[in-house]
């Protein structure tokens, strides 16, 4: 016994509606920018965290899990950002990025390797024209405490060394003290320096503290030209969390609906397990929808996550766990 | 980006494979007797009825139909237990039993959740995460009160009332049993509980738990049956207090019947909750809250936010986002852990929802119904939103008790308050705004027992719950909940 589903909603009337033409507002003054950002809807922290927790209870099983693990692998920005990084370590990372499990060629490559600017040239020479991008943090990563000239030089050097993607940090000092114009213009300048290279703008949400700030910084970065907005550097105590990712996904969804331009989201820092990765994919699926379920628009900035994905992938196939040592450490 | 820009991004299009909870966890018996004086017994007339799984119309178990004589036995057992045991048991001792019951509910939580979902049709996610944990929480909370009644604000040594007859609805079967039993037992009363006809199973499982907890025989008796069983309980001269949760129509009948007696009465009846959305509401969380307010438990919630009052300046945007979110709800097998909306509890309830929604279309409201596929068997109703509803429409006035939301608009806070209060009910309201002063201004003027700010359908044992006007009287939960079971 079922009711006749009366459909007054056309197929195109739901989902995220993205206009074909791009119409991002031109920002001409700090006053205008401030008015735009403060007009954004507030975020209710309790409700937001409840929604994120509820989505985390989704149960991902069987073929969905298999597909989601492969998707997650293809979304990884395999990262090493240590003072002690060596060319050898980066070579190893590149090999792993290309063939995460050398014994199983059905495992997809990851999206990119992410290194400091001085190791970009080495990563580029190892990867050559392989379908794995070279991403580099720049703009005085991770603190961003340098002059704009130094930041732009940092970006240009990384690009000259062969970087495909630039992960910049916003000036949190400027943003938090209300100098929105300064934070915005830096992003515009870096975007200008990037040219065709992909620009990911790191908000460092752990330092922005409130969800309202995260929403405003997301819009500020997108208006400034970000191709991706990214949660964190991984260098502070609070990194990516599911509620923060939810706010940022809502921001890219609303921005796409308003302007027609689709911006990606990268979550970084502290994501170590397949279970965590599944939670983020569910968030993407149910907040922005299918369009964003691609490495072009969603990334995980992580290092140890990849091995857990590989382990769970093998477990799904063999029915039993293998030892962690079955996979290379770097 | 070189990506081709799609016109539309389907929400939730990553298909989730079925993730069903196992029905065998329920370990249901094929038939259940009446729980009287500490043990299960056959009904005197040997009459039985079946309880169905509303999701597929399969028979779950056969349950006893209690006759007047059975109700009499139950009340007598409760009276004996009150006079010989329970009234002589100290508060500290009573609290031990309540703690024990709470812990046993937690231990058997998974089994209880499965039984609740099979019998009621609600999604396993809700019975697992809300119904069962809250039921345990109520026993824990009132366990704490049992030896502190002198400090509850009802005098130095408040007395229990005696034998309480408790009639509970089918929408939150175990939780409503906990709401009724926990404060009654803590206060020192004995009980005769009558579960709803369509959802008796979790109460019968609770009876097993009471046995496990070694609660003295007769302190709680559980009689299953239809409306006639409830009527027998209401009319029984040996009952000192009636507590009823259910429809306003039945509540009215009960009040008439106890009018000429010494019986005390508390009623928790229907509602037509208004969820008031101001233009500065936190929009994403508000949409989730509105969805949760009406589609939680298929809308089978007396305090459901079934009327959405939205400020005209944001009405189009809110409706667009709301309809998108409704389309995204996962409707289907209640046992699947990813299901958001389950089955309608009974054929009768489904017929009522269908009747009222048909009326809504006839009255000229614009209907948006989810395109979700509904299972062939069982009782199902696709989540529905009515826009362009006016205050005079039946769907704006009558309780539908189903997954149906009526959307109205307002321009000023005064108009919002006037529309929200223009209802014969007064159970719950929600206010959504980032401006605290306005929220308080509105809340002070709403005539409802419960008002939520920037949230909806949140329950906690420490917080009193109940209505005004045709939504009933008396409070359940919190310190206030004790009053209904004390001689004050």
Q: How far apart are CA A142 and CA B101, in angstroms?
A: 54
Give the residue from A154, A159, A139, A157 showing the smallest Cα distance to A233: A139
Percent of chain B with pLDDT over 70: 97
Asked if the C-beta of A21 comes within 8 angstroms of chain B's C-beta atoms, the answer is no
Does B1 have pLDDT greater than 60?
no
Size of interface A-B (CB pairs under 8 A): 160
CB B7 to CB A12 under 8 A? yes
Residue whose structure tokens are 């944001």: B314
Asked if the C-beta of A14 comes within 8 angstroms of chain B's C-beta atoms, the answer is yes
CA distance A270 to chain B (A): 25
Q: How far apart are CA B51 and CA B213, in angstroms?
A: 26
**What is the CB-side half-sphere exposure of residue B218 using CA atoms within 13 A?**
17
Question: CA-based angle B43:B44:B50, to the nearest 5?
Answer: 35
CB B288 to CB A50 under 8 A? yes
Residue in B13, B377, B381 nearest the CB of A289: B13
Which residue of chain B is at minimal alpha-carbon distance from A3? B381
Q: Tell me what the mean pLDDT of segment B69-96 comes to.
A: 98
Mean pLDDT of chain B: 96
Instruction: Return the SS3 of B369.
Output: strand
**Two tokens, residue B52:** 């169905």
- Residue B473 near residue B467, CB atoms below 8 Å: yes
CA distance B326 to chain A (A): 9
- In this prediction, residue A330 carries a pLDDT of 66
- Pick the residue of B1, B123, B130, B285 with the most A CBs within 10 A to test the interface with A by mutation: B285
Taking only the tens of pLDDT, chain A with its 330 residues reads: 233 333 334 444 568 888 887 788 899 999 999 999 999 999 999 999 999 999 999 999 888 999 999 999 999 999 999 999 999 999 999 999 999 999 999 999 999 999 999 999 999 999 999 999 999 999 999 999 999 999 999 999 999 999 999 999 999 999 999 999 999 999 999 999 999 999 999 999 999 999 999 999 999 999 999 999 999 999 999 999 999 999 999 999 999 999 999 999 999 999 999 999 999 999 999 999 889 999 999 999 999 999 999 999 999 999 999 888 888 886
Dump pLDDT digits (tens) for B385-443.
999 999 999 999 999 999 999 999 999 999 999 999 999 999 999 999 999 999 999 99
CA distance B48 to chain A (A): 26
Q: Which residues of A touch B370 (CB under 8 A)?
A: 5
**Two tokens, residue A138:** 């720049």
The radius of gyration of chain B from alpha carbons, rounded to an integer in Å, stands at 23
Q: How far apart are CA B309 and CA A240, in angstroms?
A: 36
Q: Which residues of A touch B404 (CB under 8 A)?
A: none
Q: What region, left, alpha or beta, does residue B332 occupy, with left being phi > 0 and alpha being psi -120 to 50 degrees?
A: left
DSSP letter string, A19-80: -SS--PPPP--HHHHHHHHHTSPP--HHHHHHHHHHHTT----HHHHHHHHHHHHHTEEEE-
Q: How far apart are CA B340 and CA B318, in angstroms?
A: 21
CB A290 to CB B17 under 8 A? no
Cis amide bond preceding A142, omega within 30: yes
Asked if the C-beta of B354 comes within 8 angstroms of chain A's C-beta atoms, the answer is yes
**Two tokens, residue B460:** 């906690």
- Pick the residue of B2, B12, B130, B284 with the most A CBs within 10 A to test the interface with A by mutation: B284
Residue in B288, B323, B375 nearest the CB of A51: B288
Asked if the C-beta of A168 comes within 8 angstroms of chain B's C-beta atoms, the answer is no
CA distance A249 to chain B (A): 11
CB A297 to CB B378 under 8 A? no
Neighbours of A2 (CB within 10 A): 15
- Residue B420 near residue B397, CB atoms below 8 Å: no
Does B15 have pLDDT greater than 90?
no
Asked if the C-beta of A258 comes within 8 angstroms of chain B's C-beta atoms, the answer is no
Provide the pLDDT confidence category of residue B8 given band limits of 50, 70 and 90: low
The b/e string for A176-196 (b: 16+ C-beta within 10 A; e otherwise) is eeeebbebbbbbebbbebbee
Residue in B7, B12, B327 nearest the CB of A9: B327
Question: Which of A65-69, B81-85, B132-136 is the least confident region?
Answer: A65-69
Q: At what angle do helices A274-287 and A45-55 cross, to 10 degrees?
A: 110
CB A1 to CB B379 under 8 A? yes
Q: How far apart are CA B407 and CA A153, in angstroms?
A: 56
CB A8 to CB B375 under 8 A? no
Residue whose structure tokens are 């703690």: B99
CB B13 to CB A290 under 8 A? yes
Domains, chain A, ranges and CATH?
44-326 (3.20.20.70)
Q: Which backbone phi and psi does B439 adopt, to 5 degrees? A: -55, -45
Dump pLDDT digits (tens) for B48-63.
999 999 999 999 999 9
- In this prediction, residue A23 carries a pLDDT of 80
Q: How far apart are CA A275 and CA A298, in angstroms?
A: 17
CB A289 to CB B15 under 8 A? no
Asked if the C-beta of B415 comes within 8 angstroms of chain A's C-beta atoms, the answer is no
**Two tokens, residue A35:** 């008015």
How far apart, in Å, do the first and last CA atoms of chain A sit?
57
Neighbours of A157 (CB within 10 A): 16
Give the residue from B189, B167, B106 showing the smallest Cα distance to B140: B106
Asked if the C-beta of A75 comes within 8 angstroms of chain B's C-beta atoms, the answer is no
CB B14 to CB A285 under 8 A? yes
Residues with Cβ within 8 Å of A269's Cβ and at least 6 positions away in sequence, in order, are A231, A232, A233, A234, A235, A239, A240, A301
Beta bridge partners of A260: none
Q: Which residues of B touch A297 (CB under 8 A)?
A: 3
Longest dimension (CA), chain B: 82
Beta bridge partners of B405: B385
Q: Which residues of B touch A15 (CB under 8 A)?
A: 8-11, 324, 327
**Two tokens, residue A238:** 């609070």
CB A47 to CB B379 under 8 A? no
ipTM above 0.90, yes or no: yes
Residue in A7, A18, A51 nearest the CB of B5: A18
Asked if the C-beta of B23 comes within 8 angstroms of chain A's C-beta atoms, the answer is no
Q: Tell me what the mean pLDDT of segment B302-318 comes to.
A: 97
Does B364 have pLDDT greater than 80?
yes
């Amino acid at each position: 016994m079922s009711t006749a589903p009366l459909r007054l909603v056309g197929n195109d009337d739901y989902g995220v509606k993205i206009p074909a033409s791009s119409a991002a507002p031109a920002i001409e003054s700090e006053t205008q920018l401030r008015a735009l950002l403060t007009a954004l809807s507030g975020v209710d922290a309790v409700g937001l965290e409840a929604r994120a927790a509820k989505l985390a209870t989704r149960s991902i099983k069987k073929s969905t899990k298999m597909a989601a693990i492969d998707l997650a692998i293809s979304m990884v920005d395999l990262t090493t950002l240590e003072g002690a990084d060596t060319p050898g370590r980066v070579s190893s990372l590149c090999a792993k990025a290309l063939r995460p499990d050398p014994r199983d060629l059905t495992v997809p490559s990851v999206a990119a390797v992410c290194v400091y600017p001085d190791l970009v040239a080495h990563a580029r020479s190892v990867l050559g024209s392989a379908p794995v991008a070279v991403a580099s943090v720049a703009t005085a990563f991770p603190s961003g405490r340098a002059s704009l000239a130094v930041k732009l030089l940092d970006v240009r050097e990384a690009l000259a060394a062969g970087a495909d993607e630039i992960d910049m940090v916003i000036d949190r000092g400027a943003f938090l003290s209300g100098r929105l114009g300064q934070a915005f213009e830096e992003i515009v300048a870096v975007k200008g320096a990037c040219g065709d290279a992909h620009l990911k703008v790191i908000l460092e949400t752990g330092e922005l503290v409130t969800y309202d700030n995260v929403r405003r910084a997301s819009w500020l970065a997108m208006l400034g030209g970000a191709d991706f907005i990214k949660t964190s550097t991984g260098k502070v105590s609070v990194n990516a969390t599911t509620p923060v990712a939810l706010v940022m996904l809502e921001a890219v969804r609303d921005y796409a609906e308003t302007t027609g331009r689709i911006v990606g989201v990268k979550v970084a820092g502290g994501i170590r397990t397949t279970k965590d990765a599944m939670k983020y994919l569910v968030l993407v699926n149910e907040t922005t929808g299918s369009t964003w379920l691609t490495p072009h628009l969603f990334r995980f900035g992580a290092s140890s996550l990849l091995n857990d994905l590989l382990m769970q992938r093998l477990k799904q196939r063999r029915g039993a766990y293998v030892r962690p040592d079955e996979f290379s450490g770097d | 980006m070189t990506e081709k820009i799609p016109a539309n991004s389907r929400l939730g299009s990553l298909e989730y494979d079925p993730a069903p909870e196992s029905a065998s966890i329920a370990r249901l018996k094929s038939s259940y007797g009446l729980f009287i004086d500490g043990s299960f017994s056959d009904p005197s007339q040997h009459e039985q009825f079946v309880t169905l799984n509303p999701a597929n119309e399969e028979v779950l178990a056969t349950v006893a139909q209690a006759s007047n004589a059975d109700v009499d036995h139950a009340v007598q057992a409760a009276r004996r237990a009150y006079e010989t045991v329970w009234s002589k048991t100290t508060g500290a001792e009573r609290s031990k039993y309540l703690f024990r019951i709470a812990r046993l509910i937690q231990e058997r939580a998974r089994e209880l959740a499965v039984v609740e979902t099979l019998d009621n049709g609600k999604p396993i996610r809700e019975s697992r995460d809300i119904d069962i944990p809250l039921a345990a929480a109520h026993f824990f909370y009132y366990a704490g009160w049992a030896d502190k009644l002198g400090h509850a604000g009802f005098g130095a040594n408040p007395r229990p009332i005696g034998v309480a007859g408790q009639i509970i609805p089918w929408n939150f079967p175990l939780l409503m049993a906990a709401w009724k039993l926990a404060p009654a037992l803590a206060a020192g009363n004995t009980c005769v509980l009558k579960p709803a006809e369509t959802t008796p199973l979790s109460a019968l499982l609770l009876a097993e738990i009471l046995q496990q907890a070694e609660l003295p025989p007769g302190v709680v008796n559980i009689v299953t049956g239809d409306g006639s069983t409830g009527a027998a309980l209401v009319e029984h001269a040996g009952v000192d207090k009636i507590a009823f949760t259910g429809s306003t129509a039945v509540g009215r009948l009960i009040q008439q019947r106890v009018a000429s007696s010494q019986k005390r009465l508390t009623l928790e009846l229907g509602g037509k909750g208004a969820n008031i959305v101001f233009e500065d509401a936190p929009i994403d969380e508000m949409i989730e809250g509105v969805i949760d307010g009406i589609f939680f438990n298929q809308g089978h919630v007396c305090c459901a936010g079934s009327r959405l009052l939205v400020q005209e300046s944001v009405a189009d945007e809110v409706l667009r986002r709301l309809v998108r979110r409704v389309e995204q709800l996962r409707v289907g097998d209640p046992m699947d852990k990813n299901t958001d909306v389950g089955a309608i509890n009974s054929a009768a309830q489904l017929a009522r929802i269908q009747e009222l929604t048909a009326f809504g279309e006839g009255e000229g409201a614009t209907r948006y119904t989810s395109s979700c596929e509904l299972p062939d068997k069982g009782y199902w109703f696709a989540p529905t939103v009515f826009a362009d509803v006016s205050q005079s429409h039946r769907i704006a006035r009558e309780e539908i008790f189903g997954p149906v939301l009526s959307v109205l608009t307002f321009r000023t806070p005064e108009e919002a308050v006037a529309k929200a209060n223009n209802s014969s009910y007064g159970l719950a309201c929600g206010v959504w705004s980032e401006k605290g002063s306005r929220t308080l201004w509105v809340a002070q003027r709403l005539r409802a027992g419960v008002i939520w700010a920037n949230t909806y359908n949140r329950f906690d044992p420490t917080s009193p719950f109940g209505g005004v006007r045709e939504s009933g009287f008396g409070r359940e939960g919190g310190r206030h909940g004790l009053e209904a079971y004390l001689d004050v």
